[in-house]
Amino acid sequence: MSNAAAGPAGPVGPAEVLRTPAFALFWSATTLRAFGTAIAGVAFQVLIVTVIQATPMQISILSALGVVPYLFLGLIIGALMDRWRRQPTLVLTSVGRAVVLATIPVLLLTDTLTFSSLAVVVLALGVLTLFADSAAQPLLPHLVARRSLVMANARLGQSATVAGTAGPALGGALLTLVGAPVLFLVEAGLLAVSALLQSRIRVTETRAEPRPLGRHLGHDIVEGVRYTYRHRTLRPLALSVHTWFLAHSIVTTLFGVFTLRELGVPEWAFGLILAVGGVGGFLGAVVAPRIGARLGAGRAILLGRTLTVAPWLALALLPLTATTSLALLLPLLAAVQFLYALSQGIEDANEMGYRQAVAPDFLQGRMNSTIRTANRVIFFFGALSAGFLVTLFGYPVALGVAAIVFAVAALVILFSPLHRARHDDDHGVPGASA
| Same-domain status, 162 and 235 | no
Confidence of residue 228 (pLDDT cuts 50, 70, 90): very high
On whether the CB atoms of residues 345 and 60 are closer than 8 A, the answer is no
Asked, for residue 156, whether it belongs to a domain, the answer is yes
pLDDT at 429: 54
pLDDT (mean) for 304-319? 96
Asked, for residue 10, whether it belongs to a domain, the answer is no
Asked, for residue 5, whether it belongs to a domain, the answer is no
| Same-domain status, 194 and 309 | no
| Same-domain status, 276 and 159 | no
Measured CA to CA, the distance from residue 204 to residue 375 in angstroms comes to 31
Question: 3-state SS of 81-99?
Answer: HCCCCHHHHHHHHHHHHHH
What tens digit of pLDDT does each residue of 46-83 get? 888 788 887 767 876 887 787 789 889 999 999 999 99
| Same-domain status, 166 and 262 | no
* pTM for the whole structure: 0.86
| Same-domain status, 226 and 130 | no
pLDDT at 135: 95
| Same-domain status, 179 and 238 | no
pLDDT at 205: 87
Taking every pair of C-alpha atoms in the chain, what is the biggest distance, in angstroms?
Answer: 70
Residue predicted with more confidence, 353 or 168: 353
Count of the separate structural domains present in the chain: 2
Asked, for residue 327, whether it belongs to a domain, the answer is yes
| Same-domain status, 199 and 226 | no
Mean pLDDT for the chain overall = 89
pLDDT at 56: 66
| Same-domain status, 74 and 108 | yes
User: Which residue from 267, 46, 274, 260 is spatially nearest to 165, judged by alpha carbons?
Assistant: 274
Asked, for residue 11, whether it belongs to a domain, the answer is no
Percent of the chain scored above 70 by pLDDT?
A: 94
Helix axes 234-257, 361-393, angle to 10 degrees: 40
3-state SS class at 401: helix
Measured CA to CA, the distance from residue 267 to residue 18 in angstroms comes to 37
Asked, for residue 125, whether it belongs to a domain, the answer is yes
Task: Tell me the chain's radius of gyration from C-alpha atoms.
Answer: 22
Helix axes 180-199, 21-46, angle to 10 degrees: 160
What tens digit of pLDDT does each residue of 170-221 get? 888 888 888 888 889 989 999 999 999 999 999 988 887 787 877 888 999 9
pLDDT at 169: 78
Angstrom distances, CA of residue 56 to CA of 48, 59, 194, 206, 322 = 10, 5, 34, 47, 26
DSSP H helical ranges for 147-261: 149-178, 180-199, 217-230, 234-257
Residue predicted with more confidence, 428 or 400: 400
CATH number where 93 lies: 1.20.1250.20
pLDDT at 11: 44
Asked, for residue 44, whether it belongs to a domain, the answer is yes
pLDDT (mean) for 137-151? 93
Virtual CA dihedral for 323, 328, 334, 336, nearest 10 degrees?
-80
DSSP secondary-structure letter at 262?
I
HSE value, Cβ hemisphere, 13 Å, CA-based, for 108: 20
| Same-domain status, 164 and 51 | yes
| Same-domain status, 175 and 245 | no
Q: Which range is least confidently modeled, 9-13, 104-108, 264-268, 421-425?
A: 9-13
Boundary of a domain, candidates 170, 205, 240: 205
Boundary of a domain, candidates 183, 205, 227: 205
Boundary of a domain, candidates 205, 232, 259: 205
| Same-domain status, 263 and 403 | yes
Asked if the model's pLDDT at residue 8 lies above 70, the reply is: no
- Determine the structural domain holding residue 191 and report its residue range: 17-205
Measured CA to CA, the distance from residue 123 to residue 302 in angstroms comes to 36
Residue predicted with more confidence, 20 or 43: 20
Measured CA to CA, the distance from residue 272 to residue 430 in angstroms comes to 47
Backbone φ and ψ for 304, nearest 5 degrees, come out as -60, -45
Full DSSP string of 343-369:
HHHHHHHHHHHHHHHHS-HHHHHHHHH
| Same-domain status, 72 and 192 | yes
Which residues, 6+ apart, have CB-to-CB distance to 176 below 8 Å? none
Asked, for residue 396, whether it belongs to a domain, the answer is yes
Question: 3-state SS of 31-60?
Answer: HHHHHHHHHHHHHHHHHHHHHCCCCHHHHH
What tens digit of pLDDT does each residue of 94-128 get? 999 999 999 999 999 999 999 999 999 999 999 99
What tens digit of pLDDT does each residue of 331-388 get? 999 999 999 999 999 999 999 999 999 999 999 999 999 999 999 989 888 888 888 8
